[in-house]
Structure 1
Amino acid sequence: MKRTLLSACLATLMLCNAALGADRIWISSVTLVSPEKLDRIETGGVLIDGGRIARVERGPSRAAPSGAKVVDGKGYYLTPGLIDSHVHLHVVPGMSMEQGASGDSLAQNYFRQMPRSFLYHGFTTVIDLAVSDYGVIDRFRKEPLHPDVYHCGEALVLANGYPMSFFTPETRFQSFGNYLFDPAMPTAVPAQFAPSAHTVAAGVARVDKAGGICVKTHFERGFGKDRNLPVMSGAKFAEVRAAVTQAGKVLVTHANSFEAQSFAVAGRADVLAHGMWHWGALNGQAGLPNDIKALLDRIADQRTGFQPTMQVLYGLRAYVEPGYLNDPALRKVVPASLLAWFSTPQGQWFKPEVTDGEDDAAVMQGMEGPLRRQRAVVAYLASRDANFVFGSDTPSSPTYGNLPGLNGYREMQQLHAAGMSLAQIFKAATINNARTFRLDAELGSIEVGKAANLLLMKTSPLEDVSAYDSVVTVWVRGQQTAREALAADYK
């Protein structure tokens, strides 16, 4: 490992001191770009000591602190590491849940590369919103190079609602151990799963015991063949809100429609874990309806965290996009064996579910309406400088269109095209995420005492969204790695 890291760093003329065991690193000759000081983009230096930021100096270059090894930043831009607050680490893009969990060699290769792929695109922290297997989290943390990982524990799922509905009635209760029983929504529960053991208090306690920093809930009536799923009552959601507050956690709600976001905002959810691409009876309106503007005003005024997750739809569209699998960017984040498998008949198993009998052109056209509505919502919230918190939903479904790290970069591109400024995107992926998920004492900015999760970029993220593809070096807790050594195709 040391030999590989050393050769990679020498190839980019950077010394990988931290990765080779040095405790004190002086990063000199950099332009500091930190979200809490966007009015002070200045040349300076940063001292890393024991994996933490020990000193931040702005102004003319100074001599290296005694005993510190020097990394010459070459005038590049030093930023905090990025935070993706919406990932699902147990899912292998393009595979069914069963195949991904089977120990298949393709899946094993993916899981080994996945942490490096997030780092390749600058994501030094990820938050898993719905853990289905804590072993996946443990294995992720044991990889030699990996982002910091936090989680929401097992999602607090309404019995027989979304996403339990994807599983058969015979298996769903074994698969979702933290289901919630709501008497206001009569639904069948197997006799061996006593509703009395699945109260709000019990569910939140399970998340707390597992070390979760947040609690994930859903308001989803369904789609496809399941369009009338039970949803949580307002009274039950209020009970959840009270228990989550009492536990000191962050309340995240899956909500992608006008109805769902109205419900979640009324119930004071902390984070809306999707954009609003369904407007219900208002879908056909060309502009932004006044009723939706009023809701978006509440979201902005309440500082509710908002994750647009534009890539959810683009991830599905990958199956009907000519040339998607030939994009060279995919080779950087996916093992060659898995990428080749995507093109096989077995690897195309999910396409019929995406197309549902329509031809590719019709599928592409059918997604334009939801994308138009999403863009309108993002643009309006951007005009109100809402509390955007960056989340990519990687992967949003069994699609190979949401690949780790790359999906986040493409989300940023879509957000910028929809109307978010470069400063808003940068803050969403750094300080906004850290503050909203109560991690700002540790992450989100270049400040003394915080974890040394840092990026060195050739281009400023305030100048062009392509800056997020110009990363040269990544630090996680002071451990330094050249970006090129993180690529799936690195030799």
Structure 2
Amino acid sequence: MFSLPAVSVSFGRHLLATCLLMSLPFTPAQADSVLIKQVRIISGDQAQISAAMDVLIRDGKIVAISPKLNPKASKHSQQIDGRGQFLIPGLIDSHVHLDGVPGYAGDNPKDASMLQEARRQMPRSYAYFGFTTVLDLTGDASFIAKWNAQPAGPQAHFCTPVTIPNGYPASWMDKDLQFQVPATKYMLFDPAQPNVYPANFKVEAHTPQAVVNAARQDGANCIKVFYETGFGPKKNLPVPSIELIQEVVKQAKDLGMPVYLHGNSQASYEFALKAGITTLVHGMWHDAKNVEQFVNQTRLEQIAQEISKAGISVQPTMQVLYGEHEEMNPEFFKNPVVAHAIPSSLMVWYQTEAGQWMKTILAEDFDPATKTPAELYLAVKSMYQKPLSTVRKMTAALHQSGAHLLFGSDTPSGPFYTQFPGINGRWEMDRWLEAGMSLPELFSALTIKNARAMGLEKNIGSVEVGKQADLLLLSANPLVDVRAYDAIENVILRGRVHQRATLSAQAR
């Protein structure tokens, strides 16, 4: 596999803030001042629905919330009639990979225009589906700065990937190239492999303390480490020792940086418990092999309880597996929603022989010459049923044990056009509900819980005075029906209002 109505107490604080604002000398609103009138607000851990409120946004922040604002405060504002609508915080996807175009691995100069259009659309696709904040788990400062300079898209933050030689993901590079790429700066010296390093590799610059400090100085929000023994053509990869990652965790926590662990196996979950990491960024797709099933099921239930007790958060990322087998779906591009995410020129290319390269690889073990496309799709889907069953069971066990479940989609987990920005996160929402989570739990995971996990709860994640105006205006209630997330009317990015239709890949 490659690696988815009473007014609350907080509104009382909003009203107090508004009263204080109204007592100050009036200053005419800026041109980008926005007033949303008589909208019902859904926000917070309990996801309560407010009475109708006026919400004033100025200079990218929420400056007032009141049952009825003083007309002077909203003078010259852009006004939106919010009657019958719901205002919620913008959604947060805390597991994405922003660089590159999903499913494109070539360098044909003829594709330059298509790729330019795709890169322009990708941030807009995230926003179209309601995502106003994302966390790139393998990002770097320069790329994230360029991403955040784009006119319409979610604000991005990033983790620094901390690796060991020849392990995942360095194993996908040439053995010499892995020491030449910029990310080598964050490679650990692994005492278990003392002889693999080039002569110019300075051990003192690659201790856990040195690597974590470098990540912090470069602006990373968090650290990402890996426990992956291999998949596909890569098998028996080296993994870091418990002691090495424990020291990384200690250094990161001293600097207030969460540590995310890539791992989707039972062994990686056991590793996470010993290492003391902050968040597992995948559900458990693979349980232990060659173990008596009943005995191991008891152990899996114990792991779920231990994860909960340890305060380790988990991102189930169930849509990853669906996205992989959907690559084989001959009807995929007939879904009308896909056209809002993927530009038409890229969709056409994906359906060419060149664009079907990953699909061809997936089909190799199924004698594709003897099967129709529909039969081949069903055969590949069948192969995924075991890991899907495992991840559903473990996610349910974690949920029942009270573990912290965080929303992350792993967009894209690999070279799959079926995991395109924005729409992949929307499909991950469906996977959550299928696994037994409630709509209020999904709402909180998409908003305040992710903001809190990223240390950004003072700025985003709820609708409160003083917070950044990353907001969604919906025509339906997301606490009643998940399809409310398909009924977004406006996306507000740092105080700027975008009609949802203008963010679609179909917009010109």
Q: TM-score, normalised by structure 2?
A: 0.87
Tell me whether 1:82 sits opposite 2:91 in the alignment. yes
- 2:212 pairs, out of 204, 210, 228, with 204
Q: State the secondary structure of the residue aligned to 1:294.
A: helix
Contact preservation (8 Å) 1:382, 1:421: no
1:86-120 Cα deviation digits (max 9, x unpaired): 11111311112x64999833222111111111100
CA distance in 1, matches of 2:347, 2:195: 42
Match of 1:182 in 2: 190
Q: Which has the larger radius of gyration?
A: 2
Match of 2:152 in 1: 145
CA distance in 2, matches of 1:438, 1:47: 25
Sort the Cα spacing of 1:64 and 1:331 in 2 relative to 1 into closer, same or farther, 3 A. Answer: farther
CA distance in 2, matches of 1:402, 1:469: 18
Sort the Cα spacing of 1:166 and 1:283 in 2 relative to 1 into closer, same or farther, 3 A. Answer: farther
CA distance in 1, matches of 2:54, 2:30: 21
User: Residues 99-118 of structure 1 correspond to what in structure 2 (within 5 A)?
Assistant: 99=107, 104-118=112-126
Identity %: 38
Q: Which amino acid aligns with 2:427?
A: R
CA distance in 2, matches of 1:266, 1:284: 23
Q: Which amino acid aligns with 1:122?
A: G
Match of 2:491 in 1: 474
Contact preservation (8 Å) 1:185, 1:233: no
Match of 1:170 in 2: 176
Match of 1:426 in 2: 443
Sort the Cα spacing of 1:290 and 1:233 in 2 relative to 1 into closer, same or farther, 3 A. Answer: same
Q: State the secondary structure of the residue aligned to 1:392.
A: coil
Q: Which amino acid aligns with 1:293?
A: E
User: Residues 91-490 of structure 1 correspond to what in structure 2 (within 5 A)?
Assistant: 91-96=100-105, 99=107, 104-131=112-139, 134-153=141-160, 155-175=161-181, 176-177=183-184, 178-185=186-193, 188-281=196-289, 285=293, 289-358=297-366, 359=368, 360=376, 361-490=378-507
Q: Which amino acid aligns with 2:217?
A: K
Sort the Cα spacing of 1:228 and 1:49 in 2 relative to 1 into closer, same or farther, 3 A. Answer: same
Corresponding residue pairs, total = 467
Sort the Cα spacing of 1:451 and 1:158 in 2 relative to 1 into closer, same or farther, 3 A. Answer: same
Sort the Cα spacing of 1:65 and 1:388 in 2 relative to 1 into closer, same or farther, 3 A. Answer: farther
Q: State the secondary structure of the residue aligned to 1:66.
A: helix
Sort the Cα spacing of 1:309 and 1:463 in 2 relative to 1 into closer, same or farther, 3 A. Answer: same
Contact preservation (8 Å) 2:141, 2:219: no
Q: State the secondary structure of the residue aligned to 1:227.
A: coil
Match of 1:43 in 2: 52
Contact preservation (8 Å) 1:159, 1:187: no
Deviation at 1:277, TM superposition (A): 0.7
Q: Which amino acid aligns with 1:425?
A: L
Sort the Cα spacing of 1:21 and 1:93 in 2 relative to 1 into closer, same or farther, 3 A. Answer: farther
Structure 2: which 5+ runs fail to align? 1-28, 369-375
Q: State the secondary structure of the residue aligned to 1:107.
A: helix
CA distance in 1, matches of 2:168, 2:241: 14
Sort the Cα spacing of 1:353 and 1:171 in 2 relative to 1 into closer, same or farther, 3 A. Answer: farther
1:198-219 Cα deviation digits (max 9, x unpaired): 2212211221121111011101
Deviation at 1:350, TM superposition (A): 1.3
Match of 2:371 in 1: none
Deviation at 1:288, TM superposition (A): 8.1
Q: TM-score, normalised by structure 1?
A: 0.90
Alpha-carbon RMSD across the aligned residues, in angstroms, is: 2.3
Q: Which amino acid aligns with 1:477?
A: R
Match of 1:16 in 2: none
Q: State the secondary structure of the residue aligned to 1:289.
A: helix
Match of 2:17 in 1: none
Structure 1: which 5+ runs fail to align? 1-19
Q: Which amino acid aligns with 1:84?
A: D
Q: Which amino acid aligns with 1:164?
A: A
Deviation at 1:67, TM superposition (A): 3.5
Contact preservation (8 Å) 2:450, 2:461: yes
CA distance in 1, matches of 2:159, 2:485: 27
